[in-house]
Structure 1
Amino acid sequence: MREKEPPQAAESHGGDASSTAPIHRRRGGTDVTFFVLSDLHFGFGFPDDLKTLPADPLARPVGIERDHQRVIARMNGLAGQAYPTAMGGKVQTPRGLLLTGDLTERGRVEEWQHFVAYYGLRGREGLLKIPVFEGIGNHDRVHGAFRGCVEQRVVERHGGRFYSWDWDDVHLVSLGEAPDDEGLTFLANDLARYAEDVPIVIAFHFALEGPWSTGNWFSEGDFRSRLKKTMEKHRVIALFHGHHHATGHYRWNGVDVYKPGAVKDSTHTFSVVHVTDSKMTIARYDYEANTWEWWDEKKLSK
């Protein structure tokens, strides 16, 4: 769906990104594992009459929910499994799961409720047993009367449609569908509190290059050039996006960009990221074939 204008700005942010808090510097000792997944599309395969949905979506999965049961089972059981032989080592307990948008098919209340039943928030409420850090995609705000429903739930869960947090020395930022005017301001203020050598991970939905990177509000105007400028003096070690329902890796203005895989369509993978003081590894796990599909490693200077 083509959109000429960015979404209406929310009034709140995740945390106080505009404060003059003391700058965060690297302390060392970083050892962080997390997962990344995109394009969940709860509601795909639902019946036309939502009143006929089962009362318990976990006991009676409908449509794409069967795929979610499989991917969540793999995520819940992956800690302790060996990485590909060339990588060495084993998957450590993940700190959480990053979701890069399109949580629902049409942004409907029932779809969101099923998302929560499966993925929860803190690793205790749903089928998934690790914390969840989600942002919206274009599908989450397209359905008439429920427009904005999913985004508002994200605001309630995380304090804003844009928000950030730290795992050891790694600083992570969720920018929802993509950084609009408000998102770019949030990002600039947020990153200003971090020393230039702190490793930054950024996640949002829309693509920067390649398939499905045009035909939406983010591809028009100067949003991307302003994003590039905002990141320039900072150490962005990875940027994750969805929307393409695919896997891949490319470089955008010197930044490594990763497509982690999706639940909808045929690219049934998620990414496993491990960051230490000296390196970052990213491996994609095929949850249908129950095997590693691809991996990469890059050194991080101390």
Structure 2
Amino acid sequence: MGETTFIHITDLHIGNPAVPDDHLFSDTSATLTRVLEMIGTMDQTPRFIVASGDLTNRGDVESYYQLKAIMAATDLPVIYALGNHDTREGFYRGMLERSTDLDAPYDHDQVIAGVHIITLDTTTPGQIGGSLTPEQFDWLAGKLDAHPELPKLIVAHHAPALGDNPPWDHWRTIDFDQSQKLAQLLKGRNILGILSGHIHHDRFSVWHGIPVIVGMGQHAATDILTLDVLRMVDGGSFGIGTIRSSGLTMALVPLPQTRTELNRYDLSALRAKQEAALAEAAK
């Protein structure tokens, strides 16, 4: 195969301009508009855009109308995944004009430019962390058997848990046991990489031989220099992916940023509580 270029955006957090939102820390509509303008200036036109979840900040239909209006500026195919800030009903009604099966996970796949893109809905309605149902694993197994000759990209808002033990901050990932099951299912399947978001900082990992690309997104950045405080600062980026016969390359395009503090949440008490629960469970 020749080279294929694509764009990875995530955590768009688009809001309804008519409704004030204290949990929206930047002008995300303006940021997304600017990102699309930048993509339009690229010398090498991308073949598609991956938007890996938290498409809106509140999950209401009107916010998806706003997102749809902004995304109309691009003619590129866009692969959408849902995140914990999204709602399935809001997405289906606002983006797809769909009025049936509004509770169904938004799992889908397609082939673009010789790449088989499989998108998983890792959202758990009402919760922050990610999960996959047995039915979704069955669906994924079937899709992995399709187009066996093609390399595959997996898109999921929550990245898998990377460690060898359940993490205390489990809400940042797909459930640990399900992550282990996912690793076994993806083994030997010609997976180019997994594209995710959710944690609001750029992070590249190799997980059981599979690149896991997490994007910072376009809303706000997590200050990873702090541990017991979830400190959100001004910042953002998007990724340019290049697929070659040798594999996947990701390059980052940083957006202008000041790292001004936008919000903070003390995690020390929550961490102590979770570690105590894990210690008790291990007895």
The answer to whether 1:283 aligns with 2:251 is yes
Aligned equivalent of 1:214: 170
Aligned equivalents of 1:38, 1:212: Cα separation in 2: 24
1:76 is aligned with what amino acid?
A: G
155 and 233 in structure 1: CA distance in 2 versus 1, 3 angstrom threshold:
farther
Conservation of the 8 A alpha-carbon contact between 2:161 and 2:174: no
**Equivalent pair of 2:56/2:85 in contact (CA under 8 Å):** yes
Counterpart in 2 of 1:9?
Answer: none
Q: CA RMSD in A?
A: 2.9
Q: Which stretches in structure 1 are left out of the alignment for 5+ residues?
A: 1-28, 50-61, 81-91, 120-125, 142-146, 290-302
Name the structure 2 match of 1:254.
209
Q: Partner letter of residue 242 of structure 1?
A: G
Find 2:238's aligned residue among 265, 270, 280: 270
1:151–1:206 CA distance, 2 compared to 1 (3 A)? farther
Gaps of 5+ in 2: 99-103, 124-131, 221-233, 258-283
Q: CA deviation at 1:226?
A: 1.8
**What's the TM-score, normalizing by structure 2?**
0.70
Q: Amino acid of the residue matched to residue 156 of structure 2?
A: F
Q: Is the 8 A contact 2:117 2:152 kept in 1?
A: yes
Task: Encode CA deviations 1:175-218: one digit per residue, 9 max, x unaligned.
Answer: 123543232111100111233x6321101101324799613794
Would the aligned equivalents of 1:100 and 1:136 in 2 still touch at CA under 8 Å?
yes
How many residue pairs match? The answer is: 223
Per-residue CA deviation, residues 35-85 of structure 1 (Å, 9 max, x unaligned), is 011000011876339xxxxxxxxxxxx93212122211111112x1xxxxx
Instruction: Give the C-alpha shift of residue 263 in structure 1.
Output: 0.7
| Aligned AA (2:118) | V
Inter-partner Cα distance in structure 2 for 1:69 and 1:155:
21
**Is the counterpart of residue 95 in structure 1 residue 59 in structure 2?**
no
Helix, strand or coil for the counterpart of 2:31?
A: helix
2:155 is the alignment partner of 1:191: no
For 1:183 and 1:153, how far apart are their aligned partners in 2?
Answer: 24
Shift of 1:261: 2.5
Q: Does 1:31 align with 2:38?
A: no
- For 2:65 and 2:18, locate their aligned partners in 1 and report how far apart those are by CA, in whole Å: 13
Rounded Cα–Cα distance in structure 2 between residues aligned with 1:104 and 1:234: 32
Shift of 1:274: 1.2
User: Is 1:241 aligned to 2:196, yes or no?
Assistant: yes
Q: Report the counterpart of residue 39 of structure 2 in structure 1.
A: 75
Between the two structures, name the one with larger relative contact order (CA 8 Å, sep ≥ 6). Answer: 1
Contact residue 200 and residue 235 of structure 1 kept, 8 A:
yes
Match of 2:58 in 1: 106
Aligned partner of residue 85 in structure 2, secondary structure = helix
- The residue type paired with residue 132 of structure 1 is V
Is the 1:171–1:200 Cα contact (8 Å) retained in structure 2? yes
What one-letter code is carried by the residue in structure 2 that aligns with 1:70?
R
Shift of the 36–199 alpha-carbon distance from structure 1 to 2, 3 Å rule, reads same
